[in-house]
Amino acid sequence: MKIVTKKESFTNPLYLESGRILEPYKLVYETYGEMNEARDNAVLITHALSGSHHAAGRYEGDRKAGWWDGLIGDGKAIDTKRFFVICVNVIGSCYGSTGPMSRMYPSQERYRLKFPVITVKDMVKAQRILLDRLGIDRLHAIVGGSMGGMQALRFAIEYPNFAKHTIAMAATHATRPWAIAFNKVVQEAIVKDPKFKNGNYDPDDFKEEGFTGLAVGRMAGHISYLSPESMDRKFGRSYVETDGLFELFGKFQVERYLEYNGYGFSKWFDPLSYLYITKAINIFDVSRGYDTLDEALGRIRSDLHLISFKRDMLFMPEEMKEIEIVMKAQGQGGLVSYYEVDSDYGHDAFLVELDKFSDYVAHVIDR
């Protein structure tokens, strides 16, 4: 599978949903496979909160593959022998696209807290501009999970005839209080950490030991990505063998797991990017800008395929089901399908239990 990583710079202003302007800005993206002569085999992958443009394959010397490597590649569900696959790092992220730690042109000063609040709609608009520059005027499919599913929904609404198929999984049409509450814990942990310094930290400060505020917040967030059943199965009541049961700071395996993931994550993900992206998730609502959810969904013209996961504790199946109900009620039943995956893993099933829905995805994009 051919992997190409590139960065595009844009000097024209990006007019944001907030009314502010981002100018200039950059987008990092990665492609897999080859564009065909008719230029009609492009598939866009949209990533989640902590995801990046590196969706599949391995860079030279890396042990870990891209975050959706089990789904994307030669002979896989999204077959790179047939499709030209592209994944774009969203604005606001910390993997090379313009974000809060980028320099404010023409000065060398970083944006930090001067960076504008961005929305999922802004992320989608920037990607649409990039695709236009690349000469892609129609997509065969858009596929994304979690925040990536939110982007997929926004694409279907804002650019009704742009993609033939839209697959949105583990997402919602509007973020609800349960998910916002988890994000609030992370946000508070970040900004109240003395090392945050009101956003004026040195980005190299956390590479060795991590950033405690983000680590602790990420632990709380990580709980929402799993389910009680998956935690029971993964950890049970196992205790760390080298810790004493009656030591105050002795740990269960689940505690060590959360520490390992939380502090590891905080060594490489930027705290300000986390704040801006969780803000975008919190204020996500596809009906904003329209009178009702019915009106927003009524704009959809491409086939919309909704995939939910039975024990998703973050974006629950009924949130995706509601989209299907509204569309069918207003005569769009021929455009929408709903598939609930029988899984007790939790929200992260869209990243882990690929065998339970990869055939479905392959069937959709093969049509």
According to DSSP, the residues that pair with 144 across neighbouring strands are 46, 168
Rg (CA), the chain: 20
Minimal CA–CA distance to 214: which of 262, 257, 277?
A: 262
SS3 label, residue 208: coil
Tokens representing 242 are: 């080298």
Phi first, then psi, for residue 26 (nearest 5°) are: -130, 150
According to DSSP, the residues that pair with 28 across neighbouring strands are 7
Residue type, 199: G
Helices 212-225 and 271-282 cross at an angle (nearest 10°) of: 40
Give Cα separations from 97 to 7, 28, 111 (angstroms): 8, 5, 13
Name the DSSP class of 35.
-
Catalytic annotation present for 62: no
> Residues for the chain: how many in total?
367
Phi first, then psi, for residue 289 (nearest 5°) are: 100, -10
Which among 122, 193, 312, 348 is annotated as catalytic? 312
The enclosing H or E element of 181 equals: helix 177-191
| Ordered DSSP codes for 83-95 | -EEEEEPPTT-SS
Catalytic annotation present for 224: no
| Calpha distance 185→33 (Å, rounded) | 40
106: preceding bond cis by omega (within 30 degrees): yes
For 330, counting Cβ atoms within 10 Å of its Cβ (0-12 exposed, 13-18 middle, 19+ buried), the class is exposed
Which among 54, 79, 347, 348 is annotated as catalytic? 347
Which among 50, 93, 146, 308 is annotated as catalytic? 146
Residue type, 352: V
Catalytic annotation present for 308: no
Tokens representing 75 are: 């002979």
Positions marked active-site? 146, 312, 347
